[in-house]
A = this chain, B = another copy of it.
Amino acid sequence: MKRVEQHAAYGGRQEVWTHRSATLGCEMRIGVYLPEQALRGEKRPVLYWLSGLTCTEQNFLTKAGAQAHAARHGLIVIAPDTSPRGDDLPNDAAYDLGQGAGFYVNATEAPWAAHFRMQDYVADELPALVEAHFPASDARGISGHSMGGHGALVTALRRPGRYRSVSAFSPIVAPARAPWGEKAFTAYLGADRAAWQGWDASILVANASERLPFLIDQGLNDEFLAAQLRPEVLVEACKAVDHPIELRLRPGYDHSYYFIASFLGDHFAHHAAALRG
């Protein structure tokens, strides 16, 4: 691992590291916020943040105001890139497929399958790496935005016991029934929709083996709300199996980082309460 950026921030340090990912077969960049306690070597819980379409690790670092909350609660925050990257890796000219659009799945189809294994990267390789290299405890929370909100929900559902808390902003809760998800899943997982079931939070929740409560914030002025996000689908699916969910609908708010920043403090409080436990 190599540190390529470091900035003092709120008494701690915002860093960016690169490493060679065995899972993805490429160099990856990771945002790492270390609160003051961690800089002193104290083991701290970790909040993982998964970003949305077109993002790198930088968007969340620079636009969300997360460092203030991480410092207040003494949390390490890990923000990976949204896909494998590299000129020699498969890509697509569209913003919603290929590099910058990994969708947090393990691809099975050509040309993606060799590298696009973001689920295993995020849920396995990344925590192992973080817990080996930083003063990170094994108390983990996971959150994200849009494609990354989908990633957070699906990852928590697929890996029971791995996370103590989960939340999402404007998540794609039913990607198997939304245009972004249908396009990405067709490419990464193939045309057979049966293979998509394991990657859709609103389907997975029916068989969830743990009752990790979902905290979701959704802007009502979000241009993607009706066609792509549809949080009510997840609310219905949760109701059917009595899975705890709190959906906070926010009048006037859109899909931007201004929305995330406005309510990120609430999500940090939610995670910190569970991670202290």
Contacts and interface: CB of A to CB of B under 8 A. Distances in A.
Contacts of A7: 253-254, 256, 258-259
Given A14-B258, A258-B14, A252 B8 contact: yes
A9 B261 contact: yes
A171 interface: no
Interface string A198-239: 000000000000000000000101000000000000000000
26 contacts: A7-B254, A7-B256, A7-B258, A7-B259, A8-B219, A8-B221, A8-B253, A8-B254, A8-B259, A8-B262, A9-B258, A9-B259, A9-B261, A9-B262, A10-B261, A11-B262, A14-B258, A62-B62, A62-B63, A62-B257, A63-B63, A65-B65, A65-B68, A67-B261, A67-B262, A68-B261
A60 to B, nearest CB: 12
Contacts of A8: 219, 221, 250, 252-254, 258-259, 262
Contacts of A68: 65, 68, 261
Given A8-B219, A8-B253, A253-B8, A67 B258 contact: yes
Contacts of A62: 62-63, 257
Interface string A240-254: 000000000010111
A142 to B, nearest CB: 23
Nearest to A61: B258
A257 B257 CA distance: 16
Nearest to A14: B258
Contacts of A10: 261-262
Contacts of A250: 8
Interface string A37-65: 00000000000000000000000001101
A254 to B, nearest CB: 6
A242 to B, nearest CB: 33
A87 to B, nearest CB: 27
A141 to B, nearest CB: 21
A212 B262 CA distance: 33
Interface in A103-120: none
A9 B254 CA distance: 9
A221 B250 CA distance: 40
A10 B257 CA distance: 12
Contacts of A252: 8, 13
